[in-house]
Structure 1
Amino acid sequence: MRVQRLVPAVLVALVAGCGPAVAATDDRVPSFRPAPPRPYAVGVRHFVVDPDGSRPLPVTVWYPAEPAAPAHAAAPATTRLAAGPTGSEAAAAPVPWPDAPVAAGRFPVVVYSHGLHSLPDLHAPLTTRWAADGFVVAAPTYPRTNLRAPDFTRADVRNQPADGWRLIRHLVRLDARPADPLAGHLAVDRFAAAGHSAGGFTTAGMFTSGHPRRLRAGIVIAGGGLAGSFAGPAAPLLFVHGGADPIVPESVGRAAYDRSLGPVAFLGLPGQGHGEYLTPGRPGFAQVLAATTDFLRWTLYDDRRARDRLPAVAVLPGVTTLTTRALPGRR
C-alpha cells in the first residue's frame, strides 16, 4: 500500500485551514437487524457524485452480496483472527464481484477516505473484509489528492470533509431511489467515517460541531485532528497509529485522542511506521483488522459482544497495545 508524505508544516496548514463540514439532516430511521453471524460474498460498483460539478467525486462501493458465503466457509474476521493472529487471514481475502446482486437487508455504511497519492483500491485488503462482515463501504477518490490527480495539492485536504458529507447525502438519496440496486439496502441512520493518513485527518474533520447523529463512529488511521474536529455530538472513535511513524508522528494521533469526546480507543503499534500494518501478512494486520471490524460491529450494529471482546482481539504482546477512555463496559 502506498504511503503518503504529510510533513509537519503541512499538518499545521491543514489544522489551521479546515472549516466545518456541511451536514445532512436526520429525517428517517429505517428498520434494522442484528450483526450478521457469517460472512457475505462481496460486490463492487462505481459511480460519480456530481459528475458535472466543480468537484466530481468518483466513488468505489464494496457491499455484502448474494449469495452469502456457505455455512462451511471461514468464520467472520472477528472470530477468525481472535483464534490465532498468524497471518493466515491473507488467504481469506474476498474477491469482489462487479455489480453483484446486493444481499437482502439493510447494512450500515462506512465512508473510507484514502491518503495523499493514493486510491480506494489500494485499501481493498481492509475495505473488502469489512464488506464481507456486513458493511457497505463507500470510498471516494478525492479530486486533488489522489494518485492520478492532474492538479495535485495536499492543501485540498481541508475541503475533503465536506466531500465526505456530500457523499453521505448522495447515499441517503440513493437509498430512496427505487431504480438503484442499493435502494432499500442502506441503513441511512448508521454511518461511520474512516481513513488513513490524510484520509484520517479528513475523517476527523467530519466530526465538527452540529454534525448529524447519523455519523455514529470514526476510525482515524495514522492521522490526527483538523480545526473544529471532535466538537460534538460525541461519537465513539478508534485511533490506529504506528509508534515510529515518520510521516505523521504518533504524538499527533495521541493529541487527537486526548481531544476526543465520548468513548475512545487508541490502538498502538510500537516500532511500526506509517501503514505497513495495513498489508495482509505483516505484523499487526490481524489485530488492526479484528479491532476495526469489532469496533464497527459495536458502534453500527450495537453488538455488545464485539465491544466486549475488542481488548482481546486488539492486543498481541510485542505487536500492539490498546488504550481506552470511557469505553462502555471498561474502566
Structure 2
Amino acid sequence: MARVLRRSFLTLFAAAGLSACAAEKPPAPVAPQHTRELAFNRGGGRPLPTKVWLPTGSGPHPLIYFSHGLTSQPDDYAELLAAWADAGFVVAGPKYPHTWYKATEYIADDVVNQPADAQFVITELLAALGGLVDPGRIAAAGHSAGAITTVGLFSGARDDRLKAGLVIAGRQMPQPSPFAGPAAPLLFVQGKTDETVTYEEAYGAYNQVPWPKGFLEIPKAGHLPHRDEPAVVAATTTDFWRWALNGDQAAGRRLPQDATSGDSAALTSTF
C-alpha cells in the first residue's frame, strides 16, 4: 500500500507541478515576534526542527500546528502565522525532513510520512511548552502539500486530539481515506485560478467532509491565496480559530463579513 501511495504522489507532485509549493514572490515584512526554536527528532533520519510563535500572556492558549508546502518552510508563512499568534494562539510549524527547501535529500512523495511526523511534533510540543498550551484546544493547518498532510490528520492518520482544521490550497491523497473520528470543523481556502491544486480537486475534498465545514473561494487568487488576499485570509481564518477553538460565537457570526470584505472572496459554509 505504501509503495502505491508513493508512486501516486510522484505522479501528483511531479506531473502537476506541486514539486514547488514554495512562495512565488517574497513574503511581506513581518514585525518581530516572540518565537522559539525547538529541536525535535522522530528518529530514523527524521529531524523536525520546529519554530513556535508565542502570543502574549501566560496561557494556556490553543495550539495551531502548521505544515508547510514542498520546497518551503514555516517562515515563508510568517505573516499569516504571526497574525494568529497576535490573536492569542500558539502557532508551531516544523521543517519536514525531505520536503523543506534545504532538505539534504528532497523526496516529494515523503509527504505520506508527514502526518506521523505531525502527530509526533504535537506530542513533543505539549511536553515542551507545558502550561502555555491547552491540550483540549489543538488544531492543524497547512498549505499545498502541507494541506494534504493536514487532510491526512483528519482521515487515514486521524489524530483525535485535533478540534479543527484549515486546508489552504489542498486536496485529498490520490487514494483517499474517508474523513474519520470525532467531528471537527474544517475550513478550506482556495484560489480559483490555482493550477497546482485545482479548484475542482479542493472542492472535491471539501464535499467529502461530513462535519461542519466552510469553503473560502478567492476568484482572482492562485496557489498562494494567503499572499494574493492576505487581509481576507488572515481575518477569516483568525475568526474561524476563535470560533472553533475558543467557542467565540461573535467571531463565528463575523465569518461571512470577513470573507466578503472588499468583494474579493466568497464563503460557503455549514458552520
Normalising by structure 1, report the TM-score. Answer: 0.70
Deviation at 1:44, TM superposition (A): 0.2
Structure 1 residues 8 and 160: alpha-carbon distance in aligned structure 2, compared to 1, 3 A threshold: closer
Match of 1:146 among 100, 104, 112: 100
Structure 1 residues 12 and 254: alpha-carbon distance in aligned structure 2, compared to 1, 3 A threshold: farther
Match of 1:46 among 32, 37, 40: 37
Residue 132 (structure 2) aligns with = 185
Matches within 5 A, 1:167-206: 167-174=121-128, 182-206=129-153
Q: Structure 2: which 5+ runs fail to align?
A: 1-8, 16-31
Match of 2:52 among 54, 61, 66: 61
Q: How far, CA to CA, are the matches of 1:249 and 1:212 in structure 2?
A: 26
Q: Does 1:233 align with 2:182?
A: yes
Q: How far, CA to CA, are the matches of 1:108 and 1:221 in structure 2?
A: 20
C-alpha contact 2:165 2:186 (8 A) present in aligned 1: yes
Q: How far, CA to CA, are the matches of 1:118 and 1:12 in structure 2?
A: 16
Q: How far, CA to CA, are the matches of 1:64 and 1:304 in structure 2?
A: 21
Larger radius of gyration: 1
Higher share in helix: 2
Identity of aligned residues (%): 43
Match of 1:307 among 231, 248, 252: 252
Deviation at 1:43, TM superposition (A): 1.1
Residue-by-residue CA offset, 1:223-255 (whole Å, 9 max, x unaligned): 112322522222100000000101110111100
How many corresponding residue pairs? 246
C-alpha contact 1:204 1:229 (8 A) present in aligned 2: no
Question: Secondary structure at 1:200's aligned position in 2?
Answer: helix
Deviation at 1:8, TM superposition (A): 9.2
Q: How far, CA to CA, are the matches of 1:186 and 1:296 in structure 2?
A: 15
Q: Report the AA paired with residue 236 of structure 1.
A: P
Residue 194 (structure 2) aligns with = 245
Residue 267 (structure 1) aligns with = 216
C-alpha contact 2:142 2:166 (8 A) present in aligned 1: yes
Greater RCO (Cα-Cα under 8 Å, separation 6 or more): 1
Structure 1 residues 104 and 45: alpha-carbon distance in aligned structure 2, compared to 1, 3 A threshold: same
Residue 26 (structure 2) aligns with = none
Matches within 5 A, 1:90-105: 103-105=57-59
C-alpha contact 2:64 2:92 (8 A) present in aligned 1: yes
Q: How far, CA to CA, are the matches of 1:51 and 1:309 in structure 2?
A: 40
Structure 1 residues 8 and 141: alpha-carbon distance in aligned structure 2, compared to 1, 3 A threshold: closer
Residue-by-residue CA offset, 1:89-133 (whole Å, 9 max, x unaligned): xxxxxxxxxxxxxx2120000000000010110100000110010
Deviation at 1:9, TM superposition (A): 3.0
Residue-by-residue CA offset, 1:113-166 (whole Å, 9 max, x unaligned): 000010110100000110010000010100000000121011001110111101
Normalising by structure 2, report the TM-score. Answer: 0.85
Q: How far, CA to CA, are the matches of 1:225 and 1:134 in structure 2?
A: 30
